Structure 1
Amino acid sequence: MSAPHSKRVCQIIKLKPEAEAEYRNIHASVWPGVLAALERAHIVDYSIHYYRPIQLLIATMKYTGTDYEADMKKVAEDPETQKWWAVTDGMQESFVEGAQGSGKEVPWWTELEEVFRFEGKP
């Protein structure tokens, strides 16, 4: 069940086909500092799915803080996360025109609009 003030986020990006094995491998052991930065930014229930026919990565997460933009800025300023992105960004192709990489002014991942949600009975 979602916290009353949580925000769900869904994002997509293209994975370069030749990077699939490396991307899977690095995500099998995400760096502890990267996970700590996400935790400090109130990100929970984060997962990334892969749809191979069109090389689509689909990330979903819940944000439980009160200032999403400020917390995402803190993640982008985290040195360990910046090193992580220096590795993973090269494996991806952004759908966002003008995107230069994660944590920059123009978003690297494309955030999707939620059009339906079913949470079941409380």
Structure 2
Amino acid sequence: MPKRVCQIIKLKPSAEAEYKAIHAAVWPGVLAALERAHIIDYSIHHYPPLQLLIATFKYTGQDYQGDMRKVAEDPETQRWWQVTDGMQESFVEGAEGSGKDIPWWTELEEVFRCEGKA
């Protein structure tokens, strides 16, 4: 079964329009890096009252940490993060940006799942 991941981060209020605009046309190289890393069904939702960004995706590979390192090493993704990280505020103490040793986005614990009937 795929690994499901849910993460949150705070969006700076001043960056809301720019963040939505850049995500309306995600760079092809960034999408390709996600695909190479076995990430599917990726979405980011915005909750304006708390300025939360909520990301969910499924990981279908066999080496999550290794594939995440490959994404972090991708030059196009690094350039993307240079743009988007400045629009966000991490909840993780000591976090300095995406792709670093300390996670930028906070990963949430799954407490319930209903798969439904196939």
Amino acid at match of 1:85: W
Q: Alignment partner for residue 30 of structure 2, among 9, 31, 34?
A: 34
Q: Alignment partner for residue 103 of structure 1, among 89, 99, 106?
A: 99
Amino acid at match of 2:69: K
Q: Which runs of 5+ in 2 are unaligned?
A: none
Give the TM-score normalised by the residue count of structure 2: 0.99
Q: Which runs of 5+ in 1 are unaligned?
A: none
Moved over 2 A (4+): none
TM-superposed deviation, 1:121:
1.3
Q: What count of residue pairs does the alignment treat as equivalent?
A: 118
The 5-angstrom pairing of residues 12-51 of structure 1 reads 12-51=8-47
Match of residue 121 from structure 1: 117
Distance in structure 1 (CA, Å) of the matches to 2:59 and 2:117: 21
Match of residue 94 from structure 1: 90
The answer on 1:64 being equivalent to 2:60 is: yes
The answer on 1:53 being equivalent to 2:49 is: yes
What is the alpha-carbon root mean square deviation over aligned residues? 0.4
Q: In percent, how many aligned pairs have the same letter?
A: 81
TM-superposed deviation, 1:75:
0.0
Question: What are the Cα deviations for residues 71-90 of structure 1, in whole angstroms up to 9, with x where unaligned?
Answer: 00000000000000000000
Question: What are the Cα deviations for residues 18-65 of structure 1, in whole angstroms up to 9, with x where unaligned?
Answer: 000000000000000000000000000000000000000000000000
Give the TM-score normalised by the residue count of structure 1: 0.96
Match of residue 82 from structure 1: 78
